[in-house]
Structures are given as structure tokens and as C-alpha cells.
């Protein structure tokens, strides 16, 4: 009877170990490369080794079936509990990974504009404060661009808001594809897009702005489905940088906005750089 009990414990424990491998493998596949992934791979290998030990123990138990003791029964029970613990650990790890993923998705949605996929105004305000403080502390250049779509209301009135949304979405992709990874692109409001360019002088920002303006002017940003009419737009950009006069976030925003106003006043489809 003891022999049967030991074998049952071993079989059930082995099944739990096998079941534990599945969530652990899934977790490993979802983790990015790094220390954490290497540790879970090590745990997966240890689980396989533990499973192999089950078979070795079971085989020796069968060979020594004539001299079964309570000690070997206790060993089988401990192996069973080890298998159950490994299974529970694997399930908890996978659930934790799913919870972390859900939290990351929620966090991403909380700082992302749903239409354009750009960062939203809330994120922009936070990063502006951080980047200004960082640039002032380390005496690094920092520039801000404000971009506005020319005659956007006319586009909405002529083609409808769906085409207007398509225009904004296309512009977001164009801009994101041209700026650096370190730049922060956000939907500032309506048809305005803000671009924070850390470690960038006013002259460098002006060159980037001109390349953006030229690319947008030459690119089809939407197409009317019923008539196949091509929709193209132009943009106006205002630029300002931190300086001896512009020393905080509010001043940087105000002067960039004033430069954008002048770009529109002087005929649109142009870049204006603040004198400050």
C-alpha cells in the first residue's frame, strides 16, 4: 500500500511540474531580453531538472520496492508538494505578468492621443517642465516648435471631419518619422502639434522645422474616397529656445506661440523663429 501511495504522489507531482512549465514558458516569451528573462529561463531549466529527478526517484523506488520505508514515503510527499509549489508559482508569475501588461497599456492610453497616436497634452505639460528644468540645471540647449495646420477649418468644412482626422493622423506619422527618438511630439490641441527638441539649438530646430514644412507640403495626407481627390496641406511653425531672456516653461510656450502667430500672419506655410 505504501508503494502505491508513493507512486501516486510522484505521478501527481510530476503532472503539476509539467503544468508549471507552460505558464513559465509563456512568461519567458513575453519578457524583454535582460536579467529578468535570464532568471526565468534558469528557473525553467531547474524545473526540468526537478522533473527528471522525479523519474530517477520513481525508478529507484521501483527497484527498492521490497524495502519501502516511511522515510521514502515522506520523500515522495515532499516531491509532490514541490511540484504543487512550482505550479502555483508559475500561475502567479503569469498572472503578475498579465497584470503588469494591463497596467502598462492603461498607462500608455493615459498619455496618448487616441486619434493621432502622439503623446497628449497632459504628457506634454509634464515633460516640458522636466526638460526645461534639466536643460537649465545642466546648461543645455532646448527648443520648442509649435506646428499648426493651415486652413484646417476649411478642410473640415469641405471634406468633412473624417478627412480632417485622417489629415491629422497622417501628419502625426510624418512628423514622428522625421524627428529623433529623444524628441517629444504631442498633440497640443486641435490641429496644433508641439515638438520638444532637447539638446537642440534654435538654428538646429529651424533646420528641422523647414524640413518638416517642406515634406508636409509635398506629401498627400489624405484622399477623398468618393472622388479620389488628393488632399494636401501646408503648415506653419513657430520656434523658440531657452536663452538668457527665455528662462522658464511659460515664457518658452508664449514665445513659440507668438512665433507661430507671426508665421500665420505673414502668409502661412513658413517657419518663424523667435528673436528671443
Domains, the chain, in order of start with CATH, read: 2-110 (no CATH), 121-273 (3.30.70.270)
Q: What is the DSSP string of 147-185?
A: EEETTHHHHHHHH-HHHHHHHHHHHHHHHHHHS-TTSEE
pLDDT surpassing 70 at residue 261:
yes
- Is 30 designated active site? no
Instruction: Give the residue, 178 or 41, on which the prediction is more confident.
Output: 178
Pick left, alpha or beta for residue 261 (phi over 0 → left; psi -120 to 50 → alpha; otherwise beta): alpha
Asked if 13 and 79 touch (Cβ cutoff 8 Å), the reply is yes
Q: 86 or 193: which carries more pLDDT confidence?
A: 193
Of 130, 191, 192, 203, the active-site residue reads 191
Residue 190: pLDDT band (50, 70, 90) is very high
Average pLDDT over residues 112-141: 96
Q: What is the pLDDT of residues 74-116, one digit of tens each?
A: 666 666 676 677 778 777 777 777 777 777 777 778 899 999 9
Burial group, residue 252, by CB count within 10 angstroms (0-12, 13-18, 19+): buried
Give me the pLDDT at residue 186, please.
98
pTM score = 0.69
Mean local confidence (pLDDT), 63-79: 58
pLDDT in tens, 212-228: 999 999 999 999 977 88
Q: What is the dihedral of CA 168, 192, 126, 272, to 10 degrees?
A: 130
Q: What pLDDT score does 2 carry?
A: 44
State the pLDDT confidence band at 207, using cuts at 50, 70 and 90: very high
Is pLDDT above 90 for 143?
A: yes
What mean pLDDT is predicted for residues 53-64? 64
Confidence of residue 25 (pLDDT cuts 50, 70, 90): confident
Kindly indicate the confidence band of residue 192, based on its pLDDT and cuts at 50, 70 and 90: very high
The percent helix, strand, coil of the chain (3-state, each to 5) is 65, 15, 20
Could you give phi then psi for residue 195, rounded to 5 degrees? -130, 115
Residue 7: pLDDT over 70 = no
- CA quadruple 100, 118, 131, 191: dihedral, nearest 10: -150
Q: Which residues contact 94 (CB under 8 A, 6 or more apart)?
A: 23, 24, 26, 27
The whole-chain average pLDDT of the chain stands at 86
Work out the average pLDDT over 107-133: 94
Confidence of residue 120 (pLDDT cuts 50, 70, 90): very high
pLDDT for the residue 85:
74
Contact 61, 10 (CB under 8 A): yes
Quick one: which of 128, 126, 162, 170 has its CA closest to 145? 128
pLDDT at 156 over 90: yes
Count the neighbouring beta carbons within 10 Å of the beta carbon of residue 40. Answer: 18
* Predicted local distance difference test score (pLDDT) of residue 1: 44
Is 196 in a helix, a strand, or coil?
strand
pLDDT digits (tens, 9 = 90+) for 33-50: 888 778 878 877 877 777
Amino acid at each position: 500500500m505504501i508503494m502505491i501511495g508513493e507512486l501516486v504522489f510522484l505521478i501527481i507531482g510530476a503532472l503539476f511540474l509539467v503544468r508549471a512549465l507552460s505558464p513559465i514558458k509563456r512568461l519567458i516569451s513575453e519578457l524583454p531580453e535582460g536579467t529578468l528573462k535570464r532568471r526565468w529561463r534558469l528557473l525553467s531549466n531547474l524545473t526540468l531538472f526537478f522533473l527528471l529527478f522525479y523519474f530517477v526517484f520513481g525508478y529507484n523506488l521501483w527497484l527498492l520496492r521490497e524495502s519501502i520505508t516511511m522515510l521514502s514515503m515522506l520523500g515522495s510527499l515532499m516531491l509532490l508538494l514541490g511540484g504543487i509549489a512550482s505550479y502555483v508559482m508559475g500561475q502567479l508569475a503569469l498572472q503578475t505578468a498579465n497584470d503588469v501588461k494591463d497596467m502598462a497599456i492603461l498607462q500608455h492610453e493615459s498619455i496618448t492621443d487616441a486619434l493621432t497616436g502622439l503623446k497628449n497634452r497632459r504628457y506634454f505639460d509634464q515633460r516640458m517642465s522636466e526638460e526645461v528644468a534639466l536643460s537649465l540645471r545642466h546648461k543645455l540647449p532646448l527648443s520648442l516648435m509649435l506646428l499648426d495646420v493651415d486652413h484646417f477649418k476649411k478642410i473640415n468644412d469641405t471634406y468633412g471631419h473624417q478627412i480632417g482626422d485622417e489629415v491629422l493622423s497622417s501628419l502625426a506619422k510624418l512628423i514622428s518619422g522625421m524627428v529623433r527618438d529623444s524628441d517629444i511630439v504631442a498633440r497640443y490641441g486641435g490641429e496644433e502639434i508641439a515638438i520638444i527638441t532637447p539638446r537642440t539649438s534654435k538654428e538646429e530646430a529651424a533646420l528641422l522645422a523647414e524640413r518638416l514644412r517642406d515634406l508636409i507640403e509635398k506629401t498627400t495626407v489624405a484622399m477623398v474616397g468618393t472622388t479620389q481627390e488628393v488632399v494636401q496641406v501646408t503648415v506653419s511653425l513657430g520656434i523658440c529656445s531657452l536663452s538668457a531672456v527665455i528662462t522658464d516653461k511659460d515664457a518658452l510656450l508664449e514665445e513659440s506661440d507668438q512665433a507661430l502667430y507671426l508665421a500665420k500672419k505673414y502668409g502661412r506655410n513658413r517657419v518663424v523663429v523667435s528673436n528671443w
